[in-house]
Chain A
Amino acid sequence: MERVPILKIGQTLFVSIQIDLQDESVMRLQEDLAEELGATGAHGVIIDITAVEIVDSFIGRMLATIGSISRLFDAETVLVGMRPAVAITLTELGLSLKGVRTALNAEKGLALLNRST
């Protein structure tokens, strides 16, 4: 099972999803992030999905859950780099991913996090 690496830069945790994630890997990421947030007290999480071609309802819900978990740790999550085709498909699926903030790229995501702290 692939484990997605989590980078800590300053007060922000960076996660870059590069591959077609298997369900277990997504759940593992959720756990790992919760652990990191607890351990580091980071204020923000950036999840980069620029390389992700498919986000179905399961993965979508996982991402929303990560957002909720982060908030419990008083951290904000920003999902960045969603591909147009993925956004259109998620919208058609009826997933608005409320509770997760979004930005076009990591740079803007970081700016968003810094604005809200």
Chain B
Amino acid sequence: MAGYMRDHQDKIVSRWTELVVASVRGRSSAVEVRRELEDLFPLTIRAMSGADEQASGELRAALTELSRSRARNGFTPSETALAVFSLKDAVYELVADTAELTPDYLAFSRLVDGLGLHTFETYAAAREQIIADQALSMLELSTPVVRLWDGIIAVPLVGTLDSARTQVVMEKLLETLVATGADHAVLDITGVPTVDTEVAQHLLKTVNAARLLGAECIVSGIRPQVAQTIVSLGIEFGDIATKATLADALAYALNRTGQKVTKMGQA
């Protein structure tokens, strides 16, 4: 089968190109398509022999590249897969009348099916990576660390505090501690909807990490329902200071650093 295809290379590739060009509807020129397919064809022949491991690898790599570049150019994964599948049509037209090649054709057909699926998977994997990258950027953007006062920084936590976010919070908090030389950090959880054992552990981790850099943490923004949940779950905050509001936490931190806020015109 491979031999037959090699002998009829020009005819098959031309027909394949025709079929693919018809499906791209002008987004790719016939010359470009022909070039792409001419590269793929010999790799396919080599992979068909089954004994050439390297050829299979190279073929998959070439298809991965094709899939990626087409995705970048706005082709749907189906279109790319169909382009691969049309090789079957091109070959079938030629061997339809040659009975002895029929069993080989089946094997060949299965090989091409696998290749078409591979292009689909490459597309899906690339999309997943983009989504993961975007999720990470969003996480970083939504974790501001602000300087409240000399030596006092605050991290307003909004949304669920899962392990991914905790990592980002810890990194940003510690970097800011080093950059500002602060020794007090307020972790405000007003915007954290639920505080369960897991969230409490994440908070404790963050407090621990800040402590290793010599900073004391204050957890503020404890809402009544949250307070009840914490107590009922038996979560112990130990020696970590907790306050109801960010303002309370600021007053506490100022006090600890020997500072006081007074109205002007008063002693």
Q: Are A and B subunits of one complex? A: yes
Q: Which residues of A contact B (CB under 8 A)?
A: 79-80, 82, 84, 86-88, 90-92, 96-97, 101-105, 108-109, 112
Q: Does B209 contact A (CB under 8 A)?
A: yes
Instruction: Give 13 new A-B contacts, CB below 8 A, not counting A84-B171, A84-B209.
Output: A82-B213, A84-B170, A84-B177, A87-B174, A88-B167, A88-B209, A90-B212, A91-B170, A91-B205, A91-B212, A97-B212, A102-B213, A104-B181
Contact indicator A84/B214 (Cβ below 8 Å)? no
Contacts of B213 in A (CB 8 A): 82, 84, 87, 102, 104
Q: Does B128 contact A (CB under 8 A)?
A: no
Knowing A88-B170, A91-B170, A91-B205 touch, does A104 contact B212 (C-beta < 8 A)?
no
Contact indicator A104/B205 (Cβ below 8 Å)? no
Docked CA distance A97–B211 (Å): 10
Knowing A88-B167, A91-B170, A91-B209 touch, does A104 contact B175 (C-beta < 8 A)?
no
- By DSSP majority rule, is chain B's interface helix, strand, loop, or mixed? helix
Docked CA distance A87–B181 (Å): 16
Q: In angstroms, how far is the closest chain A Cβ from the Cβ of B149?
A: 17
Q: In angstroms, how far is the closest chain A Cβ from the Cβ of B1?
A: 56
Q: In angstroms, how far is the closest chain B Cβ from the Cβ of A14?
A: 17
Knowing A104-B178, A104-B181, A104-B183 touch, does A87 contact B214 (C-beta < 8 A)?
no
Within 8 A of A (CB), among B116-158: none
Q: Does B208 contact A (CB under 8 A)?
A: yes
Contacts of B167 in A (CB 8 A): 88
Docked CA distance A92–B170 (Å): 11
Closest B residue to A86 by beta carbon equals: B212
Docked CA distance A98–B19 (Å): 71
Contact indicator B177/A88 (Cβ below 8 Å)? no
Knowing A91-B170, A104-B181 touch, does A84 contact B211 (C-beta < 8 A)?
no
Contacts of B209 in A (CB 8 A): 84, 87-88, 90-91
Q: In angstroms, how far is the closest chain B Cβ from the Cβ of A22?
A: 23
Docked CA distance A86–B170 (Å): 12
Q: In angstroms, how far is the closest chain A Cβ from the Cβ of B187?
A: 14
Contacts of A88 in B (CB 8 A): 167, 170-171, 174, 209
Contacts of A96 in B (CB 8 A): 208, 211
Q: How would residues 175 to 214 of chain B score, 1 for a CB under 8 Å from any chain A CB and 0 otherwise?
A: 1011001010000000000000000000001001111111
Docked CA distance A112–B171 (Å): 25
List 5 A-B pairs, Cβ < 8 Å: A80-B214, A84-B170, A84-B213, A88-B209, A91-B170
Contacts of B210 in A (CB 8 A): 87
Q: In angstroms, how far is the closest chain B Cβ from the Cβ of A6?
A: 22
Q: In angstroms, how far is the closest chain A Cβ from the Cβ of B174?
A: 4
